[in-house]
């Protein structure tokens, strides 16, 4: 069975959930081999085995922690040349997409980004599902040149455990001077509250201009906390300075694909939809029954969010007490 390379996303030895999602997709295509850059592979090995990794290629060099993305792309390119994998799966994060693009150029291969699913086609070759034009059209694409390089959105595929050997083999690849052109000078750990990471959260509660002000946006945070959810915002909110830009969902913000996306006071502009349309269940609260967001919702509540959200929080509180 052909190998399928999966570039691991990890931090402090902890395997990110998206890596387990990629392994689930990789198992449909062949025998998954994780590519682990930098330190911490020992700590992550058990989790990789739990999600079906057959092998773990570990490149421990300090370069992977010291320089931005380019060394990882070079390492993957050398592994593609050596192992001739059926595909390379990479997390569709900002960094992951850059690695994917660079790898595709280095290996003269086709690249597919923003995939929300990957399956084996009739001939066994990978077929990626991609939402296009802000989610209005879904296409199924395949790479016809070189080794398919596919960047998959975090949270789009449900990670399913399956036992694997996760046999570790150390690998080395020379890192070129060009790849060392941009050095990481400092790591600043983002201040993280109790809330889950926006792109990995199972539930996202987002607020829009309808919240009226930074103070008004507070009800969105309260609802998110009642649900154990991450907070998102429309661009109208982040541009107005009511909430930080890093929480913006949409075409020029984060792409999310949670089990539940709850949008309050958001009209549903195409640029906002582009970042949340693949959510499994969508609920909107909007006082305008004609708001475009209702075109894509599973459940809609027509009403003033300042009346609806506090009632929701109260009800959630009652259920928690049961
Ligand atoms: C190139 C480009 C990129 C963009 N990228 C993004 C992006 O990444 N993300 C993004 O979000 N936008 C993006 N935008 C902006 C986008 O076009 C919209 O302007 C924006 O999404 C609107 O935000 P909103 O829905 O919060 O505000 P509005 O469109 O003003 O909608 C507010 C909604 O709140 C409702 N409302 C008002 N008061 C209440 C109340 N009390 N209770 C309930 N409902 C209420 C209104 O009925 C209305 O539907 C981009 C635009 C461009 C041109």
Is residue 239 in contact with ligand 1, taking CB distance under 6 Å?
no
Output the pLDDT for position 187.
80
Ligand 1 atom with the smallest distance to the CA of 249 is 9
pLDDT single digits (tens) 189-240: 777 678 998 988 999 999 999 999 999 999 999 999 999 999 999 999 999 9
Widest pairwise Cα distance in the chain: 61
pLDDT for the residue 214: 97
| Confidence (pLDDT) at 94 | 87
| Secondary structure (DSSP) of 186-248 | ---PPP--SSPPTTT-SEEEEE-GGG-STTTTHHHHHHHHHHT-EEEE-HHHHHTTSS-GGGB
CB 143 within 8 A of CB 289: no
- Output the pLDDT for position 321: 72
Pocket lining: 273 vs ligand 1, CB cutoff 6 Å? no
Q: Summarize the chain as % helix, strand, coil (round to 5).
A: 35, 25, 40
Judge if the beta carbon of residue 92 lies within 6 A of ligand 1: no
Q: For ligand 1, is residue 87 a contact (CB within 6 Å)?
A: no
Whose alpha carbon is nearest atom 47 of ligand 1? 288
**Residue 286 in contact with ligand 1 by CB distance below 6 A:** yes
Structure confidence at residue 13 (pLDDT): 87
Closest CA to 250 of 200, 295, 206, 192: 206
β-bridge pairing 230-233 and 203-207: parallel
Higher pLDDT, 61 or 89: 89
Tokens of 185: 């000078």
pLDDT tens for each residue of 286-295: 999 999 999 9
Instruction: Compute CA distances 230 → 190, 200, 205, whole Å.
Output: 15, 9, 6
pLDDT for res 133:
75
Q: Is the pLDDT of residue 136 over 90?
A: no
Statement: the pTM of the whole predicted model exceeds 0.85: no
The fraction of the chain above a pLDDT of 70, given in percent, is: 98
pLDDT at 108: 98
Ligand 1 pocket residue status of 254, Cβ below 6 Å = no
CA of 235 to the centre of ligand 1 (A): 7
Please tell me if the CB atom of residue 40 comes closer than 6 angstroms to any atom of ligand 1. Answer: no
CA distance 152 to 25: 9
Q: Is 272 in the pocket of ligand 1 (CB under 6 A)?
A: yes
Query: Cα 49 to the chain's mean position, in Å?
Result: 21
Residue 251 has pLDDT above 80, yes or no: yes
To test ligand 1's pocket by mutation, which of 207, 270, 271, 282 has the most ligand atoms within 8 angstroms of CB? 271
| Average pLDDT score, the chain | 94
pLDDT score at 11: 87
**Cβ 280 vs Cβ 259: under 8 Å:** yes
CA 208–ligand 1 middle distance (angstroms): 6
Q: Whose CA is nearest to atom 18 of ligand 1?
A: 269
What's the mean pLDDT in 108-136? 92
| Residue whose C-alpha is closest to residue 238's, from 227, 223, 255, 254 | 254
pLDDT of 284 reads: 98
State whether the beta carbon of 236 lies less than 6 angstroms from ligand 1. Answer: yes
Q: Whose CA is nearest to atom 38 of ligand 1?
A: 210
Closest ligand 1 atom number to CA of residue 304: 42
The predicted pLDDT at position 61 comes to: 86
Share of the chain above pLDDT 90, in %: 84
* pLDDT beyond 90 at 98: yes
Q: 261 C-alpha to center of ligand 1: Å?
A: 15
Q: What are phi and psi of 169, to 5 degrees?
A: -130, 125
pLDDT digits (tens, 9 = 90+) for 18-71: 999 999 999 999 999 999 999 999 999 999 999 999 999 999 988 898 998 999
Contacts of residue 139, defined as CB under 8 A and 6 or more positions apart, other chains included, come to 129, 130, 132
Name the residue with the closest Cα to ligand 1, atom 29.
Answer: 267
Residue linked to tokens 């592994």? 79
252 in ligand 1 pocket by Cβ < 6 Å? yes
């Amino acid at each position: 069975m052909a190998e399928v390379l999966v570039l691991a996303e990890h931090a402090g030895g902890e395997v990110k959930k998206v890596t387990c999602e990629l392994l689930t997709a990789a198992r449909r295509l062949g025998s998954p081999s994780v590519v682990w850059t930098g330190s911490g592979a020992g700590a992550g090995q058990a989790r990789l085995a739990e999600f079906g990794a057959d092998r773990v290629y570990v490149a421990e060099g300090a370069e992977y922690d010291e320089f931005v993305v380019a060394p990882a792309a070079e390492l993957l390119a050398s592994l593609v040349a050596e192992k001739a994998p059926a595909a390379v799966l990479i997390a569709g994060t900002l960094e992951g997409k850059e690695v994917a693009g660079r790898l595709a150029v280095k290996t003269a291969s086709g690249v597919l980004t923003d995939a929300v699913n990957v399956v084996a086609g009739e001939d066994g070759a990978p077929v990626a599902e991609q939402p296009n034009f802000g989610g209005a059209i879904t296409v199924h694409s395949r790479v016809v040149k070189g080794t398919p390089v596919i960047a998959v959105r975090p949270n789009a595929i449900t990670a399913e455990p399956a036992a694997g050997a996760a046999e570790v083999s150390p690998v080395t690849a020379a890192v070129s001077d060009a790849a060392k052109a941009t050095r990481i000078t400092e790591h600043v750990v983002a201040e993280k509250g109790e809330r889950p990471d926006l792109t990995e959260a199972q539930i996202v509660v987002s607020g829009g201009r309808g919240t009226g002000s930074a103070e008004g946006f507070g009800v969105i945070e309260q609802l998110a906390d009642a649900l154990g959810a991450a907070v998102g915002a429309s661009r109208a909110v982040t541009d107005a300075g009511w909430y930080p830009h890093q929480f913006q969902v949409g075409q020029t913000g984060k792409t999310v694909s949670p089990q539940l996306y709850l949008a309050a006071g958001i009209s549903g502009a195409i640029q906002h939809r582009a970042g949340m349309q693949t959510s499994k269940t969508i609920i909107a609260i909007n006082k305008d029954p004609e708001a475009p967001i209702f075109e894509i919702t599973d459940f809609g509540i027509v009403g003033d969010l300042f009346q609806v959200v506090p009632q929701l929080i109260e009800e959630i509180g009652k259920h928690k007490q049961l």
